[in-house]
Amino acid sequence: MLFLVAHLLGVALAPMDPVRFEAYAAALHASPWLPLAELALVAAALTHLALALAKVLANRRAKIGGEPLPPGSPGLVSRRGDPVAALAARSAPLTGALLLAFLAVHLAQLRWLRPAAGQELTALQAALASPAALALYLAAALALGLHLFHGAEAAHRSLGLLDPANGARIRRWGRVLAVALGAGFALVPLLLVLGHDT
């Protein structure tokens, strides 16, 4: 979450202040701590993926009344009548897979093939030039919002930090952050495409 907030604050400079964005990108990519931060992010992502897969497998082995879940059964059902929370929970594997695919494309476009100094914004605009690429970025922003909508509460529950006294507050602020990050990551490419076309 902290990485996503920091990354959004950095890339939000692209449509608002291109000169500061280029300076930010140059300073970031010249930072000696960046490779270590990237390794920590890879480790966190792999840990998250492994834990999520373990949970999916454990849920599939769950028993109802001592009997295995029949094939095609609905599995776990949301206890709250919140359709958005239910959608976010049910779509977590799909949104996670979409985010993983997006991350591979995004890194291939803008990290592994590093743009020359002062060309970060040009490379970002080139990456967004095709309608398919823009659609992928927007779909990833929506997927991120849904994934975080579910994950903010689920993480607190998994860590044993969610209880009746703090549940509503964690749920509310987690959802605000999920919507803000999803909307922010959708707005940046839209503003870049609209600004580039004018």
Instruction: Tell me the pLDDT band of 185, cut-offs 50, 70 and 90.
Output: very high
pTM score, two decimals? 0.78
pLDDT tens-digit series, residues 96-106? 999 999 999 98
Report all structural domains of the chain as residue ranges with CATH numbers, in order of start.
2-30+77-197 (1.20.1300)
Q: Which residue has the tokens 């949104």?
A: 95
Asked whether residue 75 carries a pLDDT value surpassing 80, the answer given is no
Q: 74-87 burial, b if ≥16 CB within 10 A, otherwise e?
A: eeeeeeeeeeebee
Q: 63-72 burial, b if ≥16 CB within 10 A, otherwise e?
A: eeeeeeeeee
pLDDT of 80: 58
Asked whether residue 121 carries a pLDDT value surpassing 70, the answer given is yes
Does the CA dihedral 72-76-79-85 come out positive or negative? negative
Asked whether residue 134 carries a pLDDT value surpassing 80, the answer given is yes
pLDDT of 6: 92
pLDDT of 65: 45
CA 175 to chain centre: 13
Please report, for residues 14, 26, 42, 56, 142, the alpha-carbon distance to residue 154 in angstroms, rounded to integers and kept in the order given: 33, 36, 21, 14, 18
More confident of the two residues 173 and 185: 185
Tokens, residue 20: 């500061």
Nearest to 134 by CA among 104, 168, 106: 106
Most confident of 66-70, 99-103, 191-195: 99-103
**Hey, is 81 helix, strand or coil?**
coil
